[in-house]
Structure formats: structure tokens, C-alpha cells
Structure 1
Amino acid sequence: MNQSAAIWLVLLAALVAANAPYFSQRVLLVGPKPAYKSAGWRLLELVLLGLLTLGLGFALESSQGQRQPQGWEFYAAATCVYLVFGFPGFVWCYLRRKRNAP
């Protein structure tokens, strides 16, 4: 896999992972389906999927060559991008209007 394809794969994985907690009603995406899934579960899923996406990026970088050390700036920027990727799911889950609302 070339470097460009690896970058697009990580970005696509981040986009899907950032929105998955909001579109799935199951606990940790595969567990039981409660009547209402709290925001705490969604936040936990968001963090865990973000760490998995980061791990995928590190693995692809290692397969391309030597992995470069990153400072706190990289992690801060990656977190912000990941949260922005999750915004459409957040809007769908929490901010959309209910059809039967008065």
C-alpha cells in the first residue's frame, strides 16, 4: 500500500469511527440494546474508537518505514480533527428535531 492510500484509509476509518457511536444504539457497538443509550456510553465508545483509529495510523506508518515520534501538538490536533469528524453524528443524534414533537 502506498503512502497516499494509507492516509486516505486512516481518514476514512476516522470518519466512520467518529460517527459510529451516534448511529448505533448498542452498548460498545456490539452489546445489548438498552431502551436509552446515555451520553457516557457514547463518549466511552468515541474514545475507544479514537484510540483504535490512532493505532491503525501507527500500524500503517510502521509498515511504511520507521515511525516518527510525535509531540503533544500532534495528539491535540488529531483529537480536534476526530471530534470535527464526529459532528454530523452528534447533530443527527442530539440536535435533529423529532417528527412528532409539538
Structure 2
Amino acid sequence: MSQGAAVWWVLVVAVVAANLPFVNERLFVVGPRPGAVKSVAWRLLELLAYALATWGAGLALESSIGQRSPQGWEFYAAGLCLFLTLASPGFVWRYLRRQSPREPSGA
């Protein structure tokens, strides 16, 4: 895989992974469906786990292409901020979208 294709692959995986906690009610996509709606704490835990998984996929691709470059804490802080930014559409869809008014039950 070329370096450009690897970058795009990691970005697509990051966009999908960042939004999964907000568009899915199952725990870690494959877990049992909880009786109630997932709490914000579970969604944040999933978001962190998906961020680490995406980081691992990028690390594996970088290692397969060539020598890994050493990174400082700034790289990881910027990567986490980017992942949180990519998660914003899912967050907005889950928590900030306007709900349609319910039909009156007597009508």
C-alpha cells in the first residue's frame, strides 16, 4: 500500500470509529444491547477505545511502510483533538439535534 493510500485509509477509519459510539446503542458495536440507552460515560469509554484502536492501526501501517518516526506528546495531543473533532457529527446527531414534536395521543 502506498503512503498516500495508507493516510486516507487511517482517516476514513478514524471518521467511522469516532462516530460509532454515538450512532450505535450496542456496547463496542458487538456487545449485548443494554436494557436502557447507553450513558455518556460508556460512549466516552468507547470513544477512547476506538481512538486507541485507530492509533494502533496507523502505527501498524506506518511500520509496514517503513521506519516509524518518533513522536512527542504534542503529536498525541493533536491526534486526540483531531479524533474528538471527527466525533462532532455523531455527538451533534445524538445530543444536539432538534427532536420532532410528538403527536398528541388523543388525536
TM-score for the superposition, normalised by structure 1: 0.95
**How is 1:35-74 mapped onto 2 (pairs within 5 angstroms)?**
35-74=36-75
Aligned residues: 102
- The CA RMSD measured in Å over matched residues stands at 1.3
Identity %: 58
Could you say which structure has the larger radius of gyration? 2
CA contact (8 A) 1:23 1:93 kept: yes
The residue aligned with 2:7 is 7
- Give the unaligned 5+ runs of structure 1: none
- State TM-score, norm by structure 2: 0.91
Structure 2 Cα separation of the partners of residues 47 and 98 of structure 1: 28
Q: Which has the higher helix share?
A: 1
What amino acid is aligned across from residue 29 of structure 1 in structure 2? V
Q: Quick check: 1:28–1:41 contact (8 Å CA) kept in 2?
A: no
Runs of 4+ in 1 over 6 A off after TM superposition: none
Gaps of 5+ in 2: 103-107
Letter paired with 2:77: A
